[in-house]
Copies of this chain bind each other. A is one copy, B any other.
Amino acid sequence: MPTLSQENYLKALWHLAADGKVTLQRLASHLGVSPASALAMVRKLSANKLVTYRRTTGIRLTAKGRLTALQIVRRHRLWEVFLHDKLGYQWDEVHSIAEQLEHVAPADLTERLDAFLGYPRFDPHGDPIPQHDGTLPGRSDLVLSEQPPAMYRIVGLVQTHDALLRQLHSLNLTIGQVVELRHHRSFDDVFVLRVGQNTEHIGRAVAERIIVEPA
């Protein structure tokens, strides 16, 4: 049973591990703490067999640590679904509230919440919700900016942050939305989209953050 702080570290480690070796620097800056603090916590987690740490390999979650982290991510994303679907929050508002709720974890609350929400597989940002056993639903990894003109369904985002979410929301580019990629003007890197009745123009910075599947 990790503390609240330990849970935050485990979740951070899980997220960071997706992009290569996890150093104290990366961990510390991601959490906004000093490297000294990060090291102290890594040692605690290591003593609890939740991570291993060698300078050469960096910080790595053990199987036990990964499982724990996935449960936290599961709670986080389920609460995001609740806040979005049931309480009517916008998708750029749910993350910070879920940061609080993810640490509430008595017995079967998560499973009841999951059932109440209808066993969702993806959160409001399109991110897969880890299942009880730690498996992650699969999702397309096609980036819009690299696709040929055709019809696509938006299924996810890369490097989500609130400003991007608000921008996309104003363009009606939300999860599940089907769009037509008309063409890519290569001389100024603008992508022309058909969204419902509107024609929208987005730059590469946005287009390369949108994950799609053929529709």
Interface pair A112/B87, CB less than 8 Å apart? yes
A172 within 8 A of B: no
Please tell me how many copies of the chain the complex holds.
Answer: 2
A109 within 8 A of B: yes
Q: Which of A6-14, A43-51, A94-102 lines the interface with chain B?
A: A94-102
A86 within 8 A of B: yes
* CB contact list, A70-111 vs B, under 8 A: 86-89, 96-97, 100-101, 104, 106, 109
A39 within 8 A of B: no
Chain B's nearest CB lies how many Å from the CB of A211? 28
Tell whether A104 pairs with B106 under 8 Å between CB atoms, given A87-B113, A112-B88: no
A187 within 8 A of B: no
Instruction: Indicate with 1 or 0, residue by residue over A100-134, a CB within 8 angstroms of chain B CB atoms.
Output: 11001010010011001000000000000000000
Q: Which residues of B contact A116 (CB under 8 A)?
A: 86-87
Q: Which residues of B contact A113 (CB under 8 A)?
A: 87
Interface pair B97/A104, CB less than 8 Å apart? yes
Q: How far is the CA of A106 from the CA of B106 in the complex (A)?
A: 21
Chain B's nearest CB lies how many Å from the CB of A96? 7
Q: List 16 A-B contacts (CB under 8 A).
A: A86-B116, A87-B109, A87-B112, A87-B113, A87-B116, A88-B112, A89-B112, A96-B106, A97-B104, A97-B106, A97-B109, A100-B104, A100-B106, A101-B101, A101-B104, A104-B104
Told that A88-B112, A89-B112, A100-B106 touch, could you supply 6 new A-B pairs with CB distance under 8 A? A86-B116, A87-B109, A87-B112, A87-B116, A101-B101, A101-B104
